[in-house]
Amino acid sequence: MGTQIVQESKRCLQCVNPQCVKGCPVGTPIPEMISMLLEGQIRKAGEMLFRNNPLSVICSLVCPHESFCEGHCILGHKNKPVRISSMEHYISDYYLRFMDLLPEKRIAQKVGVIGAGPAGITVAFLLALRGYDITIYESKDKIGGVLRYGIPDFRLPKTLLDRLEEHLIRMGVIIRPNTLIGKRLTLEDLFRDGFEALFIGTGVWTPHRLDIKGESLGHVHYALDYLRNPEVYHLGERVCVIGAGNTAMDAARSCLRRGAREVTVLYRKDKQYIPARDVEVEYALIDGVQFLYRARPLEITLHGVQYVKTLEEENAPGQYHDTEETALLSCDTVIIAISQDPCATIPDNSNGLETGIKGLLVTDSRGHTTRKGIFASGDVVTGAKTVVEAVAQSKIVVQAMEEYLEGKIV
Ligand code: FAD
């Protein structure tokens, strides 16, 4: 591993106008990171990475690098791009073991961060580093959001999140787990108790329904529920996963690791339209996941999924219509993975927070919601996206929150 990292680092051309940086939503200073690594300054490189992106170590593992930094590396035009992700991981994993980034001063202003996913962690980390007094409210028992309760262990070891959590605590951040804001405790309670600004990063946790007969049966589950704690499910031998996004791939691969013998992804279009990343589909295939294309589910029964075969419109690529032909995909368990929306708990129980399409929170480009002193970013604003995009937007919001808080000091 070490040698490969050195060899890879030496392949970097140190471009004057680095496209990799432009391709990264958080503008990771990649050439500097590589130079520092080669000059034996790994701690300095690590500090630079975490100051720029508190989730550097996570992004190095789960980012769609082929679309961002590595997809823009000019070596990739003729050869293989530099494996930037491996270098970032090597440095940030090393640095996280003894990260010594601590606030240089203390500011007596309290900020409440609701939701401990990538957006909430970014805001908490960066504001704590500036010296603000931060409390995180998380409805689940641990921090991480989708990183902990969605992405399976075989893609992202949860020990990384534990180490991040330890560091947040060392920085002075208070974490209140198992606390759902919006019901028993509301935004009004937090303002009453002295919080001067609030951040909402609650993500999208309401699974889309298929709205077909059989959806409420006992062997039918939503992917996000299943992925939260796969060990409690009795899957049987054959599983059908409906949907073909990244969540569906995680669920399908997880089922195979949990003892299912046969897992089939059922998708209503053809292979070229699969929304999951190519690399996730490739992994699913090598793990043994099977794919059934051009199939739209009609009904779920105790025996499996009844579906109708579909056909692409001749004059409208990507549009599909039902044929007359129906069939049954036999299975013991059905997992539905067709996207998700935000929960309405907070906006329904507070005044002045406007929501838009599909219940997403309305904000301006700097994360101000429609209520003064309340900011938001991440999936609850944009809909399901990526970790690095949640971090990028949250960094902008941190600046807006600082300006707001500084304006309140006088
Ligand atoms: P979340 O991660 O959803 O975190 C929100 C947090 O808020 C949660 O911890 C939740 O419990 C908490 N919360 C919700 N409501 C309340 C409340 N009322 N009070 C208190 N707490 C609350 N992206 C990638 O870049 N790479 C990947 O490989 C990848 N894989 C994915 C796999 C799956 C299965 C899924 C579902 C998504 C994946 N994504 C991936 C997308 C990525 O994880 C999300 O874009 C990202 O997590 C969004 O961060 P967030 O902080 O906005 O929300």
Atom 16 of ligand 1, nearest CA residue: 202
- Residue 2's pLDDT is 61
Query: What is the Å distance from ligand 1's center to 253 Cα?
Result: 19
Rounded to the nearest angstrom, the distance between the alpha carbon of 118 and the centre of ligand 1 is 7
Average pLDDT over residues 206-223: 97
Tokens of 297: 């589910």
CA–CA separation, 369 and 367 (whole Å) = 6
Q: Which whole number is the average pLDDT over 22-44?
A: 97
Ligand 1 surroundings by CB, under 6 angstroms: 62-63, 114-120, 137-140, 145-146, 150-151, 180-182, 201-203, 205, 227, 246-247, 250, 343, 345-346, 378-380, 384-388, 390
What pLDDT is stored for residue 335 in this prediction?
Answer: 98
Among 94-98, 330-334, 365-369, the least confident range: 94-98
**For ligand 1, what atom is nearest to the CA of residue 247?**
34
- Average pLDDT in the 115-128 region? 98
Ligand 1: which atom is nearest the Cα of residue 59? 25
Q: Which pLDDT score, from 0 to 100, does residue 98 have?
A: 87
Q: From the CA of 144, how far away is ligand 1's center (Å)?
A: 8
Mean pLDDT of 374-389: 97
CA of 139 from ligand 1 middle (Å) equals: 12
Position 410 confidence tier, pLDDT thresholds 50, 70, 90: low
- Confidence at 1, pLDDT banded by 50, 70, 90: low
Nearest residue (by CA) to ligand 1, atom 49, is 118
* Phi (first) and psi of residue 92, to 5 degrees: -70, -35
Pocket test of ligand 1: the residue of 183, 202, 205, 254 to mutate, having most ligand atoms within 8 Å of its CB, is: 202
CA 130–ligand 1 middle distance (angstroms): 25
pTM over 0.95: yes
The set of residues, in sequence order, having a beta carbon less than 8 Å from that of 192 and lying 6+ positions away, is none
Residue 409: the pLDDT is 67
Distance from Cα 147 to the centre of ligand 1, integer Å: 7
Pocket test for ligand 1, best of 387, 393, 397 (most atoms within 8 A of CB): 387
The angle at the Cα of 331, spanning 328 to 335, to the nearest 5 degrees, equals: 105
- pLDDT (mean) for 373-378: 98
For residue 336, how many C-alpha atoms fall within 13 Å in the half-sphere facing its CB?
A: 25
DSSP secondary structure letter of residue 363: B
What mean pLDDT is predicted for residues 58-86?
Answer: 96
3-class SS of residue 229:
coil
Nearest atom in ligand 1 to the alpha carbon of residue 118 is 51
Tell whether the model's pLDDT for residue 408 goes beyond 90: no
For the stretch 90-108, pLDDT in tens is 999 999 998 999 998 999 9
Residue nearest to atom 9 of ligand 1 (CA): 145
Tell me, what's the pLDDT at 342? 94
Ligand 1 centroid to Cα of residue 9, in Å, is 32
Query: What's the CA-to-centroid distance between 156 and ligand 1, angstroms?
Result: 14
- Mean residue pLDDT across the chain: 96
- Nearest Cα residue to atom 47 of ligand 1: 146
Q: Are 55 and 391 in contact (CB under 8 A)?
A: yes
pLDDT computed for residue 4 by the predictor = 87
Of all residues in the chain, the percent with pLDDT exceeding 70 is 99
Separation between Cα atoms, residue 380 and residue 341, nearest integer Å: 8
pLDDT for position 329: 98
pLDDT tens, position by position, 267-300? 999 999 999 999 999 999 999 999 999 999 999 9
Q: How far is CA 227 from CA 137, 257, 344, in A?
A: 22, 12, 22
* Residue bearing the CA closest to ligand 1, atom 48: 379
**What are the helix and strand counts (H, E) for the chain?**
17, 15
- Inter-CA distances, 387 with 181, 182, 395, Å: 22, 24, 13
Distance 379 CA to ligand 1 centre (A): 7
Phi, psi of 368 (to 5 degrees): -70, 125
d(CA 164, ligand 1 centre) in Å: 16
Calculate how far, in angstroms, residue 389's C-alpha sits from the geometric centre of ligand 1: 12
Query: If you take atom 43 of ligand 1, which residue's CA is the nearest one?
Result: 146
